[in-house]
């Protein structure tokens, strides 16, 4: 694929009041980027906030990659 579209996405955690920037490729954030983002957004062991709260709506596939839903796709 030659037309891969790279986009910077800001994920939020409104519970801990943190944000983190990740890179999405063609509207997909990789599972490893999601895992890293969750550690930055929370990092509290045993916390039940879920890591990502707020920001774009994400839809996860079976491998944990996150697809950014339509309202943010238009920014890509
Ligand atoms: Zn937390």
What pLDDT tens digit does each residue of the chain (76 aa) get?
A: 567 889 999 999 999 999 999 999 999 999 999 999 999 999 899 999 999 998 889 999 999 999 998 665 555 4
The reported pLDDT for the residue numbered 76 is 46
The reported pLDDT for the residue numbered 2 is 65
What's the 7 CA to ligand 1 centre distance in angstroms? 26
Confirm whether 49 is domain-assigned: yes
Confirm whether 1 is domain-assigned: no
The reported pLDDT for the residue numbered 4 is 85
What's the 14 CA to ligand 1 centre distance in angstroms? 10
For residue 70, report the phi and psi dihedrals to the nearest 5 degrees.
-55, -40
The reported pLDDT for the residue numbered 69 is 87
**Total domains in the fold of the chain:** 1
User: At 73, which helix (H) or strand (E)?
Assistant: helix 70-73
Which residue range forms the structural domain that includes residue 34? 6-73
DSSP 70: H
The reported pLDDT for the residue numbered 55 is 86
What's the 29 CA to ligand 1 centre distance in angstroms? 20
What's the 25 CA to ligand 1 centre distance in angstroms? 26
Cα separation of 28 and 48, whole Å? Answer: 25
Confirm whether 56 is domain-assigned: yes
């Amino acid at each position: 694929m030659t037309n891969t579209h790279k986009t910077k996405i800001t994920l939020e955690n409104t519970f801990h009041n943190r944000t983190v920037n990740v890179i999405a490729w063609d509207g997909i954030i990789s599972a490893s980027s999601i895992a890293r983002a969750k550690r930055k957004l929370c990092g509290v062991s045993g916390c039940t906030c879920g890591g990502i709260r707020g920001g774009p709506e994400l839809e996860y596939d079976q491998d944990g990659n996150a697809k950014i839903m339509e309202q943010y796709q238009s920014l890509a």
